[in-house]
Structure 1
Amino acid sequence: MEQDEAPRLTVVEPGQGREAPLGTIGVVFKLFGADTHEQLSIVEHPFPVGALVPPHIHTREDEYSIVLEGEIGFRSGERQAVLGAGGYITKPRNELHTMWNAGKVAARMIEIISPAGFEHFFWGLADHLEAGPPDAELIEKLAADFGLQFAEAPWLPDIISRYNLTPPR
């Protein structure tokens, strides 16, 4: 398919898409790069109460999040926000960021990833976690293959304490 052709029609009905655990949060796969000329991919992330995504840096893609349910906290660089349903936020590449359930009920968000490709990290991680206990070396290699870097964040203990979160392992 040439780049100037329209992507093929892809229909994802409500409730469709592989759902899998990613550790502290979940993932539901909606649109892959193959559906969008590799321009973007879309996943949904359910956030149980107390969920915290370890601080990390994407070196290849930007993320755009839309909160669907509950309240989700975001920290990207020096900016921090807690958004309820209908809130939008951008998380630029090469900037340390994290997300967490900031409320007392389960939360959910849509994640738009541009350019596409990182959805395959989620797929590989989901496969690995569904197969058995996490293997830190395998996860580290998978992250490196997708340009994902985990990092220490001096502000993380405050967020964990303030929102009564489960610390990352």
Structure 2
Amino acid sequence: MRCSRTAFRAAGFEQYFAELGGLMDAPDTAPAVYDDLAARYGLSYGHPDWLEEIIARYRLNPPTHGTPTVHR
């Protein structure tokens, strides 16, 4: 029987979250900067049609970064 070693790598989002955290720590980061970050990782910030209801129902803070893409 032959043993092999397999190394697993994360999907790469750990760097996205590290960069996102840095942007969120800065007081006046422009929304376009968040959009650029998301685009580099193939992401977009969604804004489903039910989001406002959930925010109101559970007294949540709405997202403050990125330009939302409306999903209906």
2:41 corresponds to 1:168:
no
Structure 1 residues 132, 144: CA separation in 2 closer, same or farther (over 3 Å shift)? same
2:44 corresponds to 1:149:
yes
2:5 is matched with 5
In the alignment, the residues of structure 1 paired with residue 50 and residue 24 of structure 2 have an alpha-carbon distance, to the nearest angstrom, of 28
Please list the CA deviations of residues 37-65 of structure 1 after superposition, one character each: whole Å capped at 9, or x if unmatched: 31x3xxxxxxxxxxxxxxxxxxxxxxxxx
Identity among equivalent positions (%) equals 34
2:32 corresponds to 1:118:
no
User: Between Structure 1 and Structure 2, how many residues are aligned?
Assistant: 61
Normalising by structure 2, we get a TM-score of: 0.66
2:34 is matched with 139
Q: CA deviation at 1:124?
A: 0.9
Q: Which SS does the other structure have where 1:149 is aligned?
A: coil
List runs of 5+ in structure 2 lacking aligned partners: 65-72
Structure 1 residues 147, 132: CA separation in 2 closer, same or farther (over 3 Å shift)? same
List runs of 5+ in structure 1 lacking aligned partners: 8-36, 41-115
Q: Which amino acid aligns with 2:5?
A: E
In the alignment, the residues of structure 2 paired with residue 129 and residue 153 of structure 1 have an alpha-carbon distance, to the nearest angstrom, of 22
Q: CA deviation at 1:131?
A: 4.2
Structure 1 residues 162, 130: CA separation in 2 closer, same or farther (over 3 Å shift)? closer
The alignment yields a C-alpha RMSD, in angstroms, of 1.9
Q: Which amino acid aligns with 1:147?
A: G
Q: Give 1:65-76 correspondences, 5 Å limit.
A: none
Please list the CA deviations of residues 42-98 of structure 1 after superposition, one character each: whole Å capped at 9, or x if unmatched: xxxxxxxxxxxxxxxxxxxxxxxxxxxxxxxxxxxxxxxxxxxxxxxxxxxxxxxxx
Q: CA deviation at 1:150?
A: 1.3
Greater helix share, structure number:
2
2:22 is matched with 127
Q: Which SS does the other structure have where 1:152 is aligned?
A: strand
Q: Which SS does the other structure have where 2:21 is aligned?
A: helix
Asked which structure has the greater CA Rg, the reply is 2
